[in-house]
Amino acid sequence: MGRNVVLGVDSSTQSTKVLAVDTDTGEVVARGQAPHVVSTGAARETDPEVWWRALGEALAQVGPYAAQAAAISVGGQQHGLVVLDREGRPVRPALLWNDVQSAPQAAALVAAHGAQWWAKRFGSVPGASFTVTKWAWLAEHEPEAAKAAAAVRLPHDFLTERLTGAAVTDRGDVSGTGWWATDTETYDSGLLDTIGLDPALLPRVLGPGDAAGTTLPGLPLRAGALVASGTGDNAAAALGLGLAPGQAALSLGTSGTVFTPSVARPADPSGVVAGFAGAHGGWLPLACTLNCTLAVDKIAALLGRDREAVEGGGSAVVLPFLDGERTPNLPYASGLLTGLRHDTTPGQILQAAYDGAVYTLLGALDEVLAVDGGAPSDEPLLLIGGGARGTAWRETVRRLSGRAVRIPVAEELVALGAAAQAAALLTGETPAAVARRWNTTAGPVHDPVERDDAALDRLGTELARTFGAG
């Protein structure tokens, strides 16, 4: 007898990953992965057709499970602006979450209404990552493309629609647009009017547990398989970990993120904490940096060193803002290296890059955990994302946080969370209950070590001195 299998997809910045997961046990029985192309230079863009082709390639790698799976769900990188024509073809490449060209539009939108208004109504103060600022940029710089729009989607909506034909999104991902009000859980027609975006172009927002539909014929999938709503990648990871309020995750990928579910609706006027909705109800306060694994890998490459070839000690400080930065909000910043002495070694400079990438995430973690008013939790911090496989990343987080860290053995928590969402459609459980049944957080716990306050002080001083940020 064949296994009961579901498929979970993570269409993230650098690649698409597909997991085929045994619904009963949570065992990953097959996996596939195919790379994306992200533009270099001033813009960060990817043609959505690249995601669609990558999904096909990754599905091909899971072999017969693609046609066997009874349900599928797509988690995707958040915020990206996908503009489609009447035939559902991209009008132009998608503007990604880490494209900071819309920083002037973000500043103008915040100035027009005030940070308090944004936080209170939308749960977030939009920086250049938010979709609303990208639409404003498009309307200003490429009005013909904006006029040609017959549909506006997020990355995961685009893929879900290709699978089902349904124009839908979910509350987790839509909460990162900046045009969906978290206080009323509706699109804000007044705001859409001011940015010239017709609400008819937007997808319907599904509720927790709703299905998007079933697979269209002609796909390399079981005809009529259930397709879950999908969600943004961080919300999917929260599902994949079965996170409960007070349990926090730190994700080390192209972006660095920290998040925890909360009962209270986040509304941080400082803009550090984004007030996202959870995929299955509740809230998901989150902070995100633009420069994480790619930035540190680039610095390792510039130094001609393996990413693990770090050395402790010394006084070097690196602020690895190679793409500008979002936390703190410094979209025009570039990377900075200071504190060099005659005895500084290349390995110390590389370690300083890791420190610089982790520093603001840990500061933001306390703010994320404070949304529910609790004291910072003593629970081990769950470390996920590609970087969690690296010793240098793990040891940097331990040394700068002074906290215990747990590394789940399960990799690809976003795809696993999508798979849990798909399985939940079949079993009637919540995705979190599925994830707990699958024991997705199992993995070694690394005990706390003494916090390196000297390194934290050096970084804090440099951020304040150079950028006036802390």
Ligand X SMILES: O=C(CO)[C@@H](O)[C@H](O)COP(=O)(O)O
Question: CB under 5 to 8 A by kind: which of ligand X, ligand ADP, none does 458 bind?
Answer: none
Of 34-42, 74-82, 101-109, 418-426, the window that binds ligand X (rule: CB under 6 A) is 74-82
Interface pattern 203-242 for ligand ADP (x via CB under 6 A): ----------------------------------------
Q: Which does 293 bind (CB under 5 to 8 A by kind): ligand ADP, ligand X, none?
A: ligand ADP
Q: Which of 386, 408, 417, 443 binds ligand ADP (CB under 6 A)?
A: 386
* Listed residue (46, 142, 106, 76) closest to 332, CA to CA: 106
CA distances from 62 to 97, 267, 294 (A): 29, 41, 27
- Binders of ligand X in range 98-157 (CB under 6 A): 129
Amino acid identity of 318?
Answer: V
d(CA 206, CA 189) in angstroms, rounded, equals 18
What Rg do the C-alpha atoms of the chain give, in angstroms?
A: 21
Secondary structure letter of residue 64 according to DSSP? T
Cα 211–chain centre separation: 22
For ligand X (CB under 6 A), the number of binding residues is 17
User: By C-alpha distance, which of 334, 327, 359 is closest to 454?
Assistant: 359
Binder of residue 50, out of ligand ADP, ligand X, none (CB less than 5 to 8 A by kind): none
- Nearest distance, CB of residue 466 and ligand X, angstroms: 24
Q: Which of 8, 9, 12, 284 binds ligand X (CB under 6 A)?
A: 12
Residue whose CB is less far from ligand ADP, 106 or 294: 294
DSSP 294-355: HHHHHHHHHHT--TT-----S--EEE--BTBBTTTTBTT---EEE---TT--HHHHHHHHHH
Provide, rounded to whole angstroms, the least separation between the CB of residue 258 and ligand ADP: 14
Residue 77 within binding range of ligand X, rule CB under 6 A: yes
Query: Is 240 among the residues that bind ligand X (CB under 6 A)?
Result: no
Rounded to a whole number of angstroms, the minimum distance from the CB of residue 412 to ligand X is: 11
d(C-alpha 256, C-alpha 44), whole Å:
17
**Site size for ligand ADP, by CB under 6 A?**
16
Three-state DSSP at 369 gives helix
- By CB under 6 A, the residues from 280 to 299 that bind ligand ADP are 293-294, 297
SS3 242: coil
Q: Is 406 in the site for ligand X (CB under 6 A)?
A: no
The answer to whether residue 193 is catalytic is no
Tell me if 327 contacts ligand X by CB under 6 A: no
Give the residue, chosen from 79, 134, 394, 403, that forms a contact with ligand X under the rule CB under 6 A. Answer: 79
Contact call for residues 49 and 205 (beta carbons, < 8 A): no
**99, 173, 188, 233: which one is catalytic?**
233
Pairing of strands 231-232, 249-252: unpaired
Report the C-alpha gap between 176 and 193 in whole angstroms.
Answer: 18
Judged by CB, which is closer to ligand X: 39, or 461? Answer: 39
Indicate which single residue of 155, 261, 282, 390 sits in contact with ligand ADP (rule: CB under 6 A). Answer: 390
Give the integer Cα–Cα distance in Å for 376 and 364.
11
In three-state secondary structure terms, 110 is helix
Euclidean distance between CA atoms 408 and 28, whole angstroms: 14
* Interface residues toward ligand X, by CB under 6 A: 12-13, 77-79, 97, 129, 176, 232-234, 253-255, 257, 274, 288
**Footprint of ligand ADP (CB under 6 A):** 12-15, 253-254, 293-294, 297, 307, 385-387, 389-390, 393
Positions marked active-site: 233
